[in-house]
Amino acid sequence: MNQGKKQHNKKAATGNIRIIAGKHRGRKLPVLMAEGLRPTTDRVKETVFNWLMPYIHDANCLDCFAGAGSLGFEALSRGAAQVSLIELNNAAAKQLQANKQLLNADNITVINTNSLTFLKSSTKQHYDIVFIDPPFRQGLVTQTAELLNNGWLTSQALIYVEMEIQSEQQLPNNWQLLKEKVAGQVAYRLYQYTQNS
């Protein structure tokens, strides 16, 4: 599914993200500055991973809208056992694959597809930590959350959600809000999943 590719962007600009702690601390990774990609800032990332610190070691992580891979590569550096990165944009997915190679990271899987399509498939895979940081104003948080509730999460899984403050999107009743912060126009929150009995 084509989500608004632009033809005039022949030469994509590049920037970089920095891994702030763990095994790959200080490493800079090139990223594609494609439309709609908003790498999580270092300040936000620091807060998020302070929240996740007790849980990240040996966790199985899923980044539903990987973009530049800022959250997924940070999770890997801090001791996650396995990280799956889903990214729809072909060029961004290629860059994620190249960065995986740069870090020699066999425990990262790059999946170049639409997240909602991926989550509609059946799974034997279960995730301890999930990142949901989609393009804004497309209603993707609610849809992604509903699909994740269909067997993708371990009991007590943690879900990090980033979305615009004024969003009306609803999250499932069995996701308990643990932490919340606001930076500018963005709210970022940590939820805990509990299985419906």
Per residue in 27-40, pLDDT tens?
A: 999 887 666 666 77
- Cβ atoms of residues 143 and 170 within 8 Å: no
**pLDDT of amino acid 2:** 44
At 16 the pLDDT is 86
pLDDT of 6 strictly over 50:
no
* Full set of structural domains in the chain with CATH: 14-193 (3.40.50.150)
| pLDDT given at position 37 | 66
Higher pLDDT, residue 186 or 8 = 186
**Higher-confidence residue: 167 or 70?**
70
pTM for this model (two decimals): 0.89
Half-sphere exposure of 188 (CA within 13 A, CB side): 18
Q: Is 16 helix (H, G, I), strand (E, B) or coil?
A: strand
Going by pLDDT thresholds of 50, 70 and 90, the confidence category of residue 11 is very low
Taking all residues of the chain, what is their mean pLDDT, rounded to a whole number? 88
With 50 as the cut, is the pLDDT of residue 3 above it?
no
Reported in sequence order, the residue ranges of the chain that DSSP labels E, i.e. its strands, are 14-18, 28-32, 60-63, 82-86, 108-111, 127-132, 153-164, 175-183, 186-193
3-state secondary structure of 191: strand
Identify which of 96, 120, 98 has the alpha carbon closest to the alpha carbon of residue 110: 96
